[in-house]
Amino acid sequence: MEVVILPGNRQIGKLAADAVEALLRRKPNAVLGLATGSSPLPVYDELAVRHERDGLDFSAAHAFALDEYVGLVPGHPESYREVIGREFTSRVNILPENVHTPDGSAADIPAECRAYEDRMRAVGGVDLQILGVGTDGHIGFNEPGSSLASRTRIKTLIEQTRRDNARFFTSLADVPHHVVTQGLGTILEARHVVLIATGAQKAPAVRDFVEGPVSAVCPASVLQFHPHASILVDEAAASSLK
């Protein structure tokens, strides 16, 4: 695990975008893993600029979202399919049919979870996974207590995460209770993981997963086992590291 401390969002966005760009230039049909939330936005902004300005080409790439709410009607503006489209994929030339999100409205969710993993495998697995981290150390929607070997599956959101995400909905009552998320075992299979954490509120989680024991209590700590994990943090998020 390499930890890179940078002055702010702009530099983090550029460094992560450099990794994506190098990958796409080497492997135009690369498979990207995408997170939603605020942490990756500077990366998506920078990639959109490079697409516009430099012609960075996503036309043969695939993208897989980490997670999706269960029970939102298809097209709901806060479904991660819509969010990832608004924030990133509609701003570059990736083909809509190459953008994959778990179907949280599927009648048979366990079958959909298996099919999602099959779709990832069919295109060769994720080359570069972008991640954020929750204040409790979650990655994807793998909350504390998630099995370190878990695969894509349905999970119940803890109240803190529902409250954290209520800002995107009209009220807390509108935040779904369930999600489909890639498992920790699934995330570990990505060939390169780039996790972004900014702001003082992330400092305890960063300390715990970088320097603490590997434990399901802090799901992101499983990245200590990953052979190529890059942790990009600003000084505030790094402030509790030894």
Catalytic residues: 67, 136, 138, 143
Show the beta-strand stretches assigned E in the chain: 2-6, 31-34, 62-65, 67-69, 99-100, 128-131, 153-156, 178-181, 192-197, 229-234
Closest approach, Cβ 195 to ligand F6R, in A, equals 9
User: Scanning residues 171 to 210, which ones bind ligand F6R (CB under 6 A)?
Assistant: none
User: Scanning residues 31 to 90, which ones bind ligand F6R (CB under 6 A)?
Assistant: 35-39, 66-67
Q: What length does the chain have?
A: 242
Looking at beta carbons only, is 57 or 154 nearer to ligand F6R? 154
User: Scanning residues 91 to 150, which ones bind ligand F6R (CB under 6 A)?
Assistant: 132-134, 138-141
The CA distance from 233 to 218, in Å, is 18
The CA distance from 179 to 69, in Å, is 4
Closest approach, Cβ 68 to ligand F6R, in A, equals 9
The conformation of residue 68, written as its DSSP 8-state character, comes to E
Closest CA to 192 of 236, 144, 154, 232: 232
Using N-to-C axis directions, what is the helix angle for 41-54 and 9-26, rounded to 10°?
Answer: 50
Looking at beta carbons only, is 138 or 192 nearer to ligand F6R? 138
Looking at beta carbons only, is 55 or 135 nearer to ligand F6R? 135
Question: In the complex, which residue's CB is closest to ligand F6R?
Answer: 132
Looking at beta carbons only, is 24 or 130 nearer to ligand F6R? 130
Question: Could you list the residues that contact ligand F6R (CB under 6 A)?
Answer: 35-39, 66-67, 132-134, 138-141
